[in-house]
Amino acid sequence: MTKIFPFDYDQHDYPNGLRLITVPTGFPHIVSLYIVVHVGSRNETEAGKSGFAHLFEHMMFRGTAMYPPERYESVLKQAGAAQNAYTDDDLTVYHTTFTREDLPQILEMEADRFANLEYGEEVFRTEARAVLAEYNKDSAEPFHLLHEKLREASFDGHPYRHTTMGFLRDIERMPELYEFSRQFHRRYYRPENTTMIVAGDVEVATTRKLVEASWGGWAREGFVDVIPEALPLGGPKDVVVDWPSETLPVLQVAYRTPAYSDVSLESAALDILSYLYFSSSSALYEELVLVDQCCDVFFGIYADHVDPYLYVVTARVKDAARVEDVRRRVAETVELMKAEVVDAARLETVKSHLRYGFAMRMDHTDGIAGLLARYVALKRTPETINRLYEQYARVTAEDLQRVARTYFVEENRVTALLRSKA
């Protein structure tokens, strides 16, 4: 079949372990640089140090001897660049979009930042407080609290137990961990743990040379991380979360599911099940949102992760008295998934949605690079997208039934309910 990822890309490994992926997109003038460090909250295995990958993302803006923050900022301003960064469970991404003539200087400046980051303890303490302020800002939104509690109940023994922000108690004591932060940099901010995406108005050979010149001297560390496996869930579990003020109840029904894979059918099948049974095109959405109108938000999602994670069905219920009814109907749909062999035409519609949905996202350089970064975090190559879509094409109605029967079982279930205390 035709590969879904429509661009000819170049994947190149340097001797120090850094991987460069160059994607000439055909869109003029603009270049997006996405630097993916394969570290996230998944790597926070030590007690009391949750949230550190995210804190470290902040520290990366604190400068080097050659490029102190003011100079760094000045170069970005001169380039008119749009820059940001984010951290998630399996990755930390630094991304910058700018016009093509600025590529050499930005590559050089970023190479210096990754290899030579330097900051003092007082700056570290100040930044740790900015992270607490970020937690405080997020805490206004009930979904954040529900997410925290759901994960805490779902992952005994594995770092997915905490969110990327980390436990509040750990965030509060972050200012004391300056020495650990230096160690964190040495361990994870290394070429063998980094994949760089350069997309847009670029040529492969020139980009390879530019990266070689500025990033080739970055030394390998060879740190090997050991991430523990989560203990069996021992479900079903039920969690209730009280929200202090006015809100609508939110019900999340979650099942432990396998890690992302592009060589087996499971991930593809779980995605397809989401669209069949829990999307805006599903029968249950029609019942709950359009006909009965007891929910205003309803969706189910299998979120790709490096390690086994969760399949989560989320329903925001307009009337607290209807929560149990919604819970029952979600359970009935889960049973239906296991019992029925889905209609072939309906399955084909979902596959069409997936193919067109992907094509719709290939319309600008920054979006393409941003999407690639998510997949690169999982398998370190754009090829994983092509493989995943090949799996989608292969999935049969019988596969869906088998996967549903394997994972949507009571031992794997955690249900979390957020309700207003007010």
Partner 1 sequence: MSGSLHSVRIAFRSGTSLDPKGKEGLASLTASLVAEGASRTRSYKQILDEFFRMAAGFEVQVDQELTVFYGTVHRDHVTQYEAIVMEMLEEPAFLVEDFVRVKSDLLNYLKVGLRGSNDEELAKELLYAKIFAGHPYGHPCCGTVAGLEAIELSDVKEYFTNVLKRNELLELPAARTLEGLEVTLVEKEDARGVAMSFGYPIEVRRGHADYHALLVAQSWLGQHRNGGRLFDSIREVRGLNYGDYAYIEYFPDGMHEFEPEPNVARQQQIFEVWLRPVTPEKALFAFRMALYEIDQLKRNGMSVEDFERTRNFLSKYVKLLIKTEALVQGYRIDSEFYGTVEYTRYIAEGLAGLTLEDVNRAARKYLDTEKLCFVAVGPGMAELGRQMRESVATPIAYEVEQPKEVLAVDRVVGAWPLRVTDLQIVPFERVFEN
135-154 residues near partner 1, rule: CB under 8 A: 135-137, 139-143
Sequence-separated (6 or more) residues with CB below 8 Å from residue 404: 273, 334, 337, 338
Task: Report whether 237 contacts 416 (CB < 8 A).
Answer: no
Binding track, positions 62-101, relative to partner 1; x by CB under 8 A: -------x---xx-xxxxxxxxx------------xxx--
Residue of the chain from 349, 386, 396, 406 that contacts partner 1 (CB under 8 A):
349
Residue 67's φ and ψ, nearest 5 degrees, are -120, 80
1 binds partner 1 (CB under 8 A): no
Instruction: Specify the amino acid at residue 244.
Output: P
Query: In this complex, which beta carbon is closest to partner 1, that of residue 81 or of residue 239?
Result: 81
Task: Report whether 95 contacts 83 (CB < 8 A).
Answer: yes
Query: In this complex, which beta carbon is closest to partner 1, that of residue 62 or of residue 305?
Result: 62
DSSP result, 77-96: HHHT-EEEEEE-SS-EEEEE
Binding to partner 1 (CB under 8 A) within 173-232 occurs at: 175
Residue of the chain from 356, 398, 410, 411 that contacts partner 1 (CB under 8 A):
356
Minimum CB–partner distance for residue 76 and partner 1 (Å): 8
Q: What's the rounded Cα separation, in Å, for the pair 279 and 331?
A: 16
Query: In this complex, which beta carbon is closest to partner 1, that of residue 192 or of residue 292?
Result: 292
Instruction: Specify the amino acid at residue 213.
Output: A
Binding to partner 1 (CB under 8 A) within 253-292 occurs at: 275, 279-281, 286, 289-291
130 binds partner 1 (CB under 8 A): yes
Instruction: Specify the amino acid at residue 321.
Output: A
Residue 19, SS3 per DSSP: strand
Task: Report whether 247 contacts 418 (CB < 8 A).
Answer: yes
Q: Which stretch binds partner 1 (CB under 8 A): 25-33, 154-162, 255-263, 382-390?
A: 25-33
Minimum CB–partner distance for residue 203 and partner 1 (Å): 18
Query: In this complex, which beta carbon is closest to partner 1, that of residue 72 or of residue 407?
Result: 72
Minimum CB–partner distance for residue 187 and partner 1 (Å): 25
Our measurement of the distance from residue 1's CA atom to the centroid of its chain's CA atoms, rounded to an integer in Å, reads: 28
